[in-house]
């Protein structure tokens, strides 16, 4: 859709990007693969980062202040690629400027700020899309088809898993110190990696209402003392939790770790009364009488059909990627998936784990809503 709410037709979608750091490089690459997208401007307070991105990706207009870029009159949408506690001010500036907003994950640094983002989008009548890349993976798409077809029967339990052997940002050699500073990032492994796995399962479960959350966070593994000091490390390396959804018939547990002394965790899964599905490695399991059956699937063949035979736009797969879906929604080719609502529930779960850790007990969703405090920084 254009800034006035009408679908963008007959031309490419004109996009601006705020933030030209590490994650923005992937966004720029992804937009290059979307035929109907055109990145016309980028902005970063670090001139070198902005200039380097513009030169690498052929972006014609460069700004060193976001507000200057937002004065342009030719932007349809703006992509916010800032640190977590800058997501709210960045998204709010975009939405209030009359543009649709794409924002990096997690939705914000605090649940309270994520609520404000969604409220702002609704008040301005603009679209808000959150980068939940896992929703477009072949495994999630295949699992969704199984669930929608009734192949799992009555779904009752899910497990969200994710881990690295030793992959804490900065202290283990990857990323910058801001990733592990709570005043900037808002959280650790749950916000960095867990957001993908939790959101995938919420999507598959139909984004159910959350009733209660219990959990605990850990920072136990040793790290280089100098890097600890330089980084100001203040977030969790591991988070674990248990979620009870409204209605009392559905639950989910969570383990997410940047570092742990274990070779692997089995992938996330969903269980139903008639079958179960694991995401990675993909597998579907069910029983017929005394016969237990399980196995994988030809996801490459499925992707071919999604892209060529069953797409909503002839030859264009509107769910090929997060960016492709966003552009297709702006053009009116598909309805935007409720990524903001799913991301908000993901925030509620993550902050529920943090609050449970702080209080030493299970917490209700209402307690998270009432006690959440803004951590937003000034843009």
DSSP secondary structure, 306-328, as one string: IIIIS-TBTTB-TTSSHHHHHHH
Instruction: Report the DSSP pairing between strands 128-130 and 100-103.
Output: parallel
Q: What is the dihedral of CA 42, 44, 49, 51, to 10 degrees?
A: 50
3-state secondary structure of 116: helix
Identify the pLDDT of residue 174. Answer: 83
β-partners of residue 316 are 313
| Bond prior to 281 in cis (omega within 30° of 0) | yes
Smallest Cα–Cα separation from 151: which of 252, 48, 277? 277
Q: How far apart are the first and last CA of the chain?
A: 26
> Looking at residue 340, what DSSP letter applies?
H
- Select from 55, 11, 103 the least CA-distant residue to 323: 103
Q: Is 224 left (phi over 0), alpha (psi -120 to 50) or beta?
A: beta
Which positions of the chain have pLDDT values less than 50? Answer: none
Looking at residue 5, its pLDDT comes to: 67
pLDDT for residue 1? 65
pLDDT in the model for residue 91: 98
Supply the pLDDT for residue 313: 57
Which residues, listed in sequence order, are joined to residue 270 by a DSSP beta bridge? 158, 277
pLDDT of residue 72: 97
Q: What is the pLDDT of residue 304?
A: 87
Per-residue pLDDT at 3: 54
Cα distance between residue 205 and residue 199, in whole Å: 10
| Residue 208 tokens, joined | 């159910």
Can you give the pLDDT at residue 379? Answer: 85
The pLDDT, as a whole number, for residue 237 is 97
SS3 for 205?
A: helix
Q: What is the pLDDT of residue 305?
A: 85
Cβ atoms within 10 Å of 372's Cβ, excluding its own: 20
pLDDT at residue 175 in the model: 86
């Amino acid at each position: 859709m254009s800034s006035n709410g009408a679908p963008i037709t007959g031309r490419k979608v004109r996009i601006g990007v705020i933030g030209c750091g590490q994650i923005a490089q992937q966004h720029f690459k992804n937009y290059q693969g979307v035929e109907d997208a055109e990145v016309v401007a980028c902005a970063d307070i670090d001139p070198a980062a902005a200039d380097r991105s513009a030169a690498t990706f052929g972006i014609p207009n460069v700004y060193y202040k976001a507000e200057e870029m937002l004065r342009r009159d030719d932007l349809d949408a703006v992509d916010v690629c800032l640190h977590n506690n800058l997501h709210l001010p960045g998204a709010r500036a975009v939405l209030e400027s009359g543009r649709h907003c794409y924002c990096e994950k997690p939705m914000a640094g605090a649940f309270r700020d994520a609520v404000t983002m969604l409220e702002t989008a609704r008040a301005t009548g603009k679209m808000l899309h959150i980068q939940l890349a896992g929703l477009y993976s072949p495994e999630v798409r295949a699992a969704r088809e199984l669930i929608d077809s009734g192949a799992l029967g009555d779904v009752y339990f899910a497990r969200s898993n994710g881990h690295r052997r030793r992959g804490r940002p900065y202290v283990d050699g990857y990323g910058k110190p801001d990733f592990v500073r709570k005043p900037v990032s808002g959280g650790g492994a749950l916000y960095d990696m867990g957001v993908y796995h939790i959101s995938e399962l919420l999507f598959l479960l139909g984004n159910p209402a959350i009733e209660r959350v219990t959990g605990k966070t850990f920072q136990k593994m040793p790290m280089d003392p100098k890097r600890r000091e330089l980084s100001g490390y203040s977030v969790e390396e591991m988070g674990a939790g248990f979620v009870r959804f409204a209605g009392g018939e559905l639950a989910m547990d969570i383990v997410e770790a940047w570092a742990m002394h274990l070779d692997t965790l089995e992938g996330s899964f969903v269980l139903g009364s008639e079958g179960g599905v694991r995401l990675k490695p993909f597998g579907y399991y069910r029983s017929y009488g005394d016969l237990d059956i399980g196995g994988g699937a030809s996801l490459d063949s499925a992707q071919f059909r999604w892209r060529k035979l069953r797409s909503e736009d002839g030859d264009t797969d509107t769910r090929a990627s997060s960016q492709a879906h966003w552009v297709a929604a702006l053009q009116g080719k598909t309805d935007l998936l409720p990524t903001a609502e799913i991301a908000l529930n993901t925030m509620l779960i993550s902050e529920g784990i943090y609050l449970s850790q702080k209080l030493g007990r299970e917490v209700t969703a209402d307690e998270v809503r009432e006690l959440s405090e803004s951590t937003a920084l000034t843009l």
